[in-house]
Amino acid sequence: MFGRRKKSGAAADAAGEAEQVVDETVEDEAEQSGGQRRVNLPPAPRPDGPWDVSEVSRPEEGRVDLGGVFVPGVEGMELRVEVAGDAIVAATVVLRDSAIQLQAFAAPKREGIWGEVRDEIASGITQQGGVIDEVEGPLGWELRARVPVQLPDGTGGVQLVRFVGVDGPRWFLRGVISGQGAVQPEAAGLLEQIFRDTVVVRGEGPMAPRDPIVLKLPEDAQMVPEGVQQEDQETSRFSGGMGQLQRGPEITEVR
């Protein structure tokens, strides 16, 4: 048991005032974050994934090896990658009229960043005129956003998007669910399972927090520029289109 030595006179008064200031500051911070601290929290347990590569004996089994992540493969999925400069930084799994974008980042060793990232995403979307709801969903705390977009005919519209995230050991995995998966739970189930079953390979090298974990193409992948369709998708393991999603260069996983 820890005790505190008694103070007398002015020292006690000064100490009491200091403690009051500290208590008020803590309360203010808690109120600003909706009663929950957002930063400096350790990563939450991940009993159902996503997984660190050290937690999976054979990460390549049933998954596509993209270097920084192993993405689960499911029947009928299309897999495309997104490029920033010369680096591949994200992968998007498309299933019929739904999609989930996966992106992994470096994170502090003992602190999760999803809480503060949620705040930043919410702030950015509301500044654009969007609307954010923060809810506890099947994958933990997430943001459900209504984002203003310009439709093909030039008129304004709203896109519904879900932002999900999980903190791991020295990494953070973010998912962005769009299409029917953002509005219909029955359409989101398989995308949520893909997110849970993703394996992250952080590597041992030094990385600054929030640096993207760079991905790579599988050895037998074929790069297909956006909008280009291949005539015979079924003869190649990687092929295909989905140009209407307006993403970057892509590969398609056909199973």
Cα 168 to Cα 110: distance, rounded to the nearest angstrom: 9
- Nearest by Cα to 218 from 37, 110, 70: 70
Cα 245 to Cα 230: distance, rounded to the nearest angstrom: 17
Residue 247 has pLDDT above 80, yes or no: no
155-168 per-position pLDDT tens digit: 888 999 999 999 99
CA 135 and chain centroid, separation: 15
Q: What is the phi-psi region of residue 119: left when phi exceeds 0, alpha when psi lies from -120 to 50, beta otherwise?
A: alpha
Q: What is the pLDDT of residue 240?
A: 26
- Name all domains of the chain by residue range, CATH numbers in brackets: 68-212 (3.40.1000)
Bridge partners (DSSP) listed for residue 146: 131, 160
Q: Structure pTM?
A: 0.73
* CB neighbour class for 14 (10 Å; exposed up to 12, middle 13-18, buried from 19): exposed
Residue 241 has pLDDT above 80, yes or no: no
DSSP notation for the chain: --------HHHHHHHHHHHHHHHHHHHHHHHHTTTS--SSPPPPP-TT--EEGGG-S-TTTTEEE-SSEEEEP-TT-EEEEEEETTEEEEEEEEETTEEEEEEEEE--SS---HHHHHHHHHHHHHHTT-EEEEEEETTEEEEEEEEEEE-TTS-EEEEEEEEEEEEETTEEEEEEEEEGGGT-HHHHHHHHHHHHT-EE---SS---TT-B--B---TT---B-TT---S-GGGSSB----GGG--SSB--B--
Residue 9 has pLDDT above 60, yes or no: no
User: Which structure tokens are listed for 90?
Assistant: 């994200």
Q: Calculate mean pLDDT across residues 235-239.
A: 27
Residue 43 has pLDDT above 70, yes or no: yes
191-215 per-position pLDDT tens digit: 999 999 999 999 989 999 999 999 9
